[in-house]
Amino acid sequence: MAFVCSATWTAKPGEEETVRAALAELSPASREEPGNLYYQAYQSPEEPTVFRIFEVYQDKAAFKAHVGSEHFAQFGVGQAIPALANNEHETYETLDV
């Protein structure tokens, strides 16, 4: 079983492009992490301020490595998170991978 993080980021009004740009950097960098199995940002066209991310890591340690990475510090903590009105995530386990 692998470790799943399902995040929901809600941008402050007017900060949508700041969050989108951060995700454009975070997505390829996160996929390069040795412990990452999947990283996909997605959105509903009806909710332009809400950014969702589905992430799968080999295990919890790999997720912690992601959170502690340079690119997360720069583009997550440094760029996206200050532009968020709300920041939630839930963790799960995959059933078969």
What's the min distance (Å) between Cβ of 28 and a second copy?
Answer: 8
Q: How far apart are CA 73 and CA 55, in angstroms?
A: 17
Cβ proximity to a second copy, 24 vs 73, nearer residue: 24
Nearest of 91, 83, 90 to residue 10 by alpha carbon: 83
What's the min distance (Å) between Cβ of 93 and a second copy?
Answer: 6
What is the contact surface with a second copy in residues (CB under 8 A)?
A: 4, 6, 20, 23-24, 27, 38, 40-45, 51-52, 54, 56, 90-97
What's the min distance (Å) between Cβ of 40 and a second copy?
Answer: 6
Q: How far apart are CA 20 and CA 80, in angstroms?
A: 8
